Amino acid sequence: MATGTEPPARLTGVHDASRAEIPARHLRTDRWWLAPAATAAGLLAFIVYSTWRAFANADYYAAPYVSPFYSPCLAENCVPMQGGPNWALFGSWWGLSPALLILVFPLGFRLTCYYYRKAYYRGFWASPPACAVAEPHAKYTGETRFPLVLQNLHRYFFYAALPVAAILTYDALLTFRNEDYEWGHMGLGTLVFLVNTVLIWAYTLSCHSCRHIIGGRLKHFSQHPVRYRLWGFVGRLNARHMLLAWASLISVALCDLYVYLLATGAFTDPRIF
């Protein structure tokens, strides 16, 4: 039975005598374009902001806070960070921002994430822009050809995202110091960093690859009770993967913005104790 939602044969290139020939691209009367438009706007805003901050190469450290965009700082031209993860493993890289050395890993993890694939496929490539709306492309090859075949690297980016999340956790612990690096203090920035760390871990562990690695290939859960419990926990997180993806994206940008405002002297970090 034809439901009236399938794209016509002239768009799909497949003729099905059981389906009605509908000249319209779709029969939806709701504002279906709002979701992909909002998704595109949100991702574009983050891309513009993160690109600006990554190439700025300044105002990313305000003791004891270091921007998550620049941690770990691996270049020789990093600003001095007492107790911070400044390992100077690479040269100055012709004066390029040290953020460019580290952002490739979390960005690679997010770009290949299953949710983000859906988000930018619909928001930017209209593939398809919404359910029951035909694709505007004449040909679709999916992720079988370059460059989209690189999406299959998601599992390896997951392994790279784990140490990054661990380093951000270390950065959050260092925020229990004051500007003189004395322990036993807590500022508003500490809460900002803690929330960001929790969201980053929740998003990372809710990844589909993480769920599969933990228990996706087990045939008998009863023989692996620990992995089964972990798989169930990750599964509950995975059900909120979209929410965690957006929440962690916003939190990491706000965390960087907070450090930027402190570093530029826009305000002083309020001390809680």
Q: How does pLDDT run across 59-77, given as a tens digit for each residue?
A: 999 999 999 999 888 777 7
> Which position has the higher pLDDT, 105 or 76?
105
183: pLDDT strictly greater than 60: yes
Q: Which tens digits make up the pLDDT trace of 13-36?
A: 455 556 556 677 888 889 999 999
Percent of the chain with pLDDT over 90: 51
* Whole-number pLDDT of residue 85: 53
Distance, CA of 49 to CA of 53 (rounded, Å): 6
115: pLDDT strictly greater than 70: yes
The band of 52, judged by pLDDT with boundaries at 50, 70 and 90, is very high
For strands 73-75 and 86-90, give the pairing. parallel
Cβ-Cβ contacts under 8 Å for 184 (sequence gap 6 or more): 176, 177
Residue 146 near residue 56, CB atoms below 8 Å: no
Residue 220 C-beta-side C-alpha neighbours within 13 Å: 2
Q: Which tens digits make up the pLDDT trace of 241-263?
A: 999 999 999 999 999 999 999 99
Phi, psi of 59 (to 5 degrees): 55, 45
Residue recorded with tokens 């100055």? 92
Distance, CA of 238 to CA of 206 (rounded, Å): 4
